[in-house]
């Protein structure tokens, strides 16, 4: 109960109710509005003065507040269509002297898209709870955004994008060099989606022989070919029904298989090898590749119609050398991870080792970094990782060898890494870093902004 003797109690109450995230309406026993907060009025395009005193059905489209007053029964999380949007509404009767004297209504989320996005955010936080982890074991998806260690702005933005797209059923194409963590993002999208309790099936299209890929993806009937199992076998698409299928290395798929895959995606049904019957599918498709699909389309090695079908939502995972500010975070994570696995305790890594790692080009990205940390832990003679512990080729002067990079891109990466390393060497003092590099203070701040190092 509000203490009316408290100073400014009325002002506090009005501020809270007016700025509440929910939209609020209160009606009397006749269904007439006696209160409606400013946000709700604004959405319904009425003023408070116009709304108060009118019957709720004259102000709010498809309202059931007057019905709740009559029945005395609450309605929770009910979909309500208002002004072109589906709302999620709660309606609660107000009792006094054992009779209904009015009703209190709220709109918790302004439309169903917002509800789904909120679900994704909630699932993200639930990912640290054991019961949720147990569910991951059942479905086949095991990585969440919590497993993607970073502190760079570019990765923070990417994670936020994943949260916003996870609730949709649109196809996602994940691009990025080998070793950047594309699979982790695929797992995360599934576990943040409404399909999180359904199967997550992974297929490496580049690792399965061409003559086996069709039966692996679509299944087969008994007797379909020599060696076929008795009773046939369900394909990966049928196994993923209701959930998500992740087609890794989609760029390695042959044109013949691309045609068959396209048909499955268009028709939303699958016909097993040797069968004359099709089975309906409800599957979200996530694909990944490190190959330049646009160039493959130009050389007729990848179908453009399939490309547009799988890339409704494109995600690009940056290479490690493009986000070197994440390096130290990743090093600390891998030291802890490998130490637990090997039972060898490592207490620290020397500064000159970190500086050496900062100057390396990381063609193998995060996967290469993890392997190097593991090797260094095994080779460390004490509980400290020293220069003697890391592989010799890491200590050689960095040679830029970006296979698909232009000279401009290579210079871009080199300048970014030099600036980052110099700032680190000067303990974050940007003025000293500028002096060391022989450039002005304004120039270094301009480059920090350009390379998103702030």
Give the pLDDT of residue 279.
92
Instruction: Compute the distance between CA of residue 357 and CA of residue 364 in angstroms, rounded to an integer.
Output: 13
Task: Report the phi/psi class of residue 174: left, alpha or beta, with left for phi > 0 and alpha for psi in -120 to 50.
Answer: beta
Give the pLDDT of residue 291.
92
Two structure tokens written together for 362: 């990381």
Instruction: Compute the distance between CA of residue 186 and CA of residue 208 in angstroms, rounded to an integer.
Output: 20
Give the pLDDT of residue 378.
87
Helices 407-425 and 430-437, packing angle to 10 deg: 120
Beta-carbon count within 10 A of 47 CB: 12
Q: Splitting the chain (454 residues) into consecutive groups of 10 residues, what average pLDDT does each group show?
A: 58 68 88 91 90 94 93 88 79 91 83 61 58 57 89 93 92 95 95 91 90 89 68 88 95 94 94 87 96 93 96 95 93 90 84 91 91 90 90 69 59 74 78 77 79 75
Q: What is the pTM of this model?
A: 0.63
Q: Give first-to-last CA distance, the chain, whole Å.
A: 48
Task: Report the phi/psi class of residue 175: left, alpha or beta, with left for phi > 0 and alpha for psi in -120 to 50.
Answer: beta
Helices (H) then strands (E): counts for the chain: 21, 16
Contact 329, 422 (CB under 8 A): no
Closest CA to 45 of 92, 15, 88, 84: 84
For the chain, list the domains and their CATH numbers.
18-110 (3.30.450.20), 145-318 (3.40.50.300), 322-394 (1.10.8.60), 407-451 (1.10.10)
Give the pLDDT of residue 341.
82
107: three-class secondary structure by DSSP:
strand
Contact 414, 400 (CB under 8 A): yes
């Amino acid at each position: 109960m509000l203490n009316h003797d408290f100073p400014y109690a009325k002002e506090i109450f009005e501020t809270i109710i007016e700025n509440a995230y929910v939209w609020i309406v209160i009606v009397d026993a006749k269904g007439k509005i006696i209160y409606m907060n400013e946000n709700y009025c604004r959405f319904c395009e009425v003023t408070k003065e116009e709304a108060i005193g009118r019957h709720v059905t004259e102000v709010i489209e498809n309202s059931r507040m007057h019905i709740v007053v009559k029945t005395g029964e609450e309605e929770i999380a009910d979909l309500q269509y208002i002004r072109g949007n589906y709302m999620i509404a709660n309606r609660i009767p107000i009792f006094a002297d054992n009779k209904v004297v009015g009703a209190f209504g709220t709109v918790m989320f302004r439309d169903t898209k917002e509800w789904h996005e909120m679900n994704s955010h909630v699932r993200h936080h639930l990912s640290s709870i054991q019961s949720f982890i147990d569910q991951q074991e059942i479905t086949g998806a095991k990585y969440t955004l919590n497993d993607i260690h970073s502190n760079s702005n570019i990765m923070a933005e990417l994670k936020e994008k994943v949260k916003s797209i996870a609730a949709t059923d649109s196809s996602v194409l994940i691009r990025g060099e080998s070793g950047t963590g594309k699979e982790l993002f695929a797992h995360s999208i599934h576990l943040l989606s409404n399909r999180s309790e359904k199967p997550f099936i992974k297929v490496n299209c580049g690792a399965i022989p061409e003559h086996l890929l069709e039966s692996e993806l679509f299944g087969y009937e008994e007797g379909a070919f020599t060696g076929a199992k008795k009773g046939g076998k369900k394909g990966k698409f049928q196994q993923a029904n209701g959930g998500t299928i992740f087609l890794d290395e989609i760029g390695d798929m042959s044109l013949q298989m691309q045609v068959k895959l396209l048909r499955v995606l268009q028709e939303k049904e699958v016909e097993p090898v040797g069968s004359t019957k099709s089975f309906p599918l409800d599957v979200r498709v996530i694909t990944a590749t490190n190959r330049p699909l646009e160039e493959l389309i130009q050389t007729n090695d990848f179908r453009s119609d399939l490309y547009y079908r799988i890339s409704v939502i494109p995600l690009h995972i940056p290479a490690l050398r493009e986000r070197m500010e994440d390096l130290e975070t990743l090093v600390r994570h891998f030291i802890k991870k490998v130490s637990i696995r090997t039972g060898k305790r490592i207490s620290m890594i020397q500064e000159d080792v970190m500086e050496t790692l900062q100057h390396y080009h990381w063609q193998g990205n995060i996967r290469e970094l993890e392997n190097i940390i593991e090797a260094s832990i095994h080779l460390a003679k004490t509980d400290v990782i020293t220069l003697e512990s890391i592989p010799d080729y890491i200590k050689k002067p960095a040679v830029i060898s970006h296979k698909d990079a232009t000279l401009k891109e290579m210079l871009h990466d080199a300048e970014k890494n030099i600036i980052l390393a110099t700032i680190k060497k000067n303990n974050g003092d940007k003025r000293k870093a500028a002096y060391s590099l022989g450039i002005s203070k304004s120039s270094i701040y301009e480059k920090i902004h350009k390379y998103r190092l702030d």
